Structure 1
Amino acid sequence: MVDRDAHQIVVFDRNRQVVSRLGQRHQPGNPFNHPSCVAIALDGDIFVADGYGGTVVHRFSSSGEPICTWGRRGTAAGDFLLPHAICVMKKGSVVVADRENNRVQKFDFSGALQAVWTGFFRPTAIWADRDDRLYVTDQVPSLTVLDADGNFLSRCRPVLNGAHGICGDEDRGYIYLAEINPS
């Protein structure tokens, strides 16, 4: 779980007990400065979008050891203005919704840029299903579906005020959207 204002990632077990923390509580820049999202790879590695202050992505081992950090503040490909959301694709790529640059960027696990996709207005959340289709919400508000290569599949407007979070339950065929300021 992201504790944005405490500058931490908090890890819970299935009984909702805290088992570990990444970052120093209330100490920005050690290593987080208002992180915005966390994603876990199949091997347990932890990826953190350090969006609101750090404008980077951090990768940690499943035990919490730092592996690498990439990105910087900017508008060039591979840079971020606000890495707001992050997800890990099953085939080993990290996808970041770069909200203020109006784009989604795809990286390998070491931070090498693989692709940049545009056509979004302030993308806020992203989720990859088991087939690596990407579901991206933005502040149009819309929900856009892309294939694993970033090709457009569909778009709809499921909520009135914009989804700020997304996840899915593929066994049931559900997609869950967390809406901000619902009417």
Structure 2
Amino acid sequence: MVQPRDYKAVDKPKKIVNDDGNMGKPWGIAFGKDGVWAMTDSSNHCVYIFDSQDRLIRKFGTGNGLFYNPRGISFDANNCLYVVDGDNNRVQKFDVYGKYMLQFGHCGSGSGQLYDPIGIVVHNDKVFVAEGSNRRVSVFHLNAQFSHVIGSGQLSNPWGVAVTSNDQLLVADFNSGIFRFTLDGTYVDTFGDGLSWANALTTDIHGFILVGEQRSHCVSVFDKDGVFVHSFGSYGSAEGQFSCPRGIAVSPNNDVYVTDHYKRVQIF
């Protein structure tokens, strides 16, 4: 069994992945089956796929799968990828080989429309999409049919989304900390009031909540009850420092992967 992390001991990364300097602005990051992971590159308008040894397998983002500023990314249980195509105001679905499957959403504020989508998480049979400018989370079925909205009238600028092991939705609000909802949209509570531009968001296998702070250039850690534990990182290009950590994911062995605008992914 993988033991809980001592986040107070996190300092320098054990590995850095940067595609030999060819990454642009890494954004979203997510793990699929067997340790395979994926990352969006918002400035190169593509998706990277890596194996469990952090070796690059492929990149894609052409044809039907063309992106304009891809952001959040998430796998479903079948190892299919859902990619937030930010400036096209849509979500695109692919298999793990990069084959285009479907898309949903177009610019607007109505049901099933998206405006400034940023974060995404797939959980069971639903897709949760954070929309910064619509100030809500829109929920879709896996077949792209619209389901419902969460947080309208409560959220001010949602970026990151994650689902906890007890089926609660966490939303990183850029201006107001972390909101917690039931999956049908009932408000539970808010924590992390002192966070500085919260964006990236995930949970580890023991329930700890990890939040990227864009203005403080760090990762803050909370326990499952929302109590602050520790933060690591600061602004800079040295190992263990960040510039706009906008994507966080946890591997099956509880390593923490953080995207960094210094054209790299740092692994802790």
TM-score (ref. length: structure 1): 0.90
The Cα shift of 1:147 comes to 1.2
One-letter identity of the residue aligned with 1:143: I
2:99 aligned partner: 65
CA distance in 1, matches of 2:46, 2:122: 20
2:21 aligned partner: none
Residue by residue, what CA displacement relative to the aligned partner does 1:38-66 show, whole Å, maximum 9, x if unpaired? 10111101000111x21100011233211
CA distance in 2, matches of 1:43, 1:156: 33
Segment drifting more, 98-107 vs 142-151: 142-151
- Out of 100, 113, 116, which is 1:82 matched to? 116
CA distance in 1, matches of 2:195, 2:161: 18
The Cα shift of 1:92 comes to 1.2
Gaps of 5+ in 1: none
The Cα shift of 1:179 comes to 0.2
One-letter identity of the residue aligned with 2:41: D
Q: Aligned-residue CA RMSD in angstroms? A: 1.7
CA distance in 2, matches of 1:16, 1:101: 35
1:7 aligned partner: 45
One-letter identity of the residue aligned with 1:142: G
Residue by residue, what CA displacement relative to the aligned partner does 1:6-52 show, whole Å, maximum 9, x if unpaired? 1101011122211111214xx9x85111101110111101000111x
* Contact 2:65-2:100 within 8 A present in 1 as well: no
Runs ≥4 in structure 1, deviation > 3 angstroms? none
* Contact 2:138-2:148 within 8 A present in 1 as well: yes
Gaps of 5+ in 2: 1-38, 218-268
* Contact 1:159-1:179 within 8 A present in 2 as well: no
Q: Comparing both chains, which one has the higher relative contact order based on Cα–Cα distances under 8 Å and sequence gaps of 6 or more?
A: 2
Aligned residue pairs: how many? 177
* Contact 2:175-2:198 within 8 A present in 1 as well: no
- Out of 5, 25, 31, which is 2:66 matched to? 31
Q: Which has the larger radius of gyration?
A: 2
Quickly say closer, same or farther: Cα 1:63–1:136, change in 2 above 3 A.
Answer: same
1:176 aligned partner: 210
Question: 1:124 is paired with a residue of what secondary structure?
Answer: strand
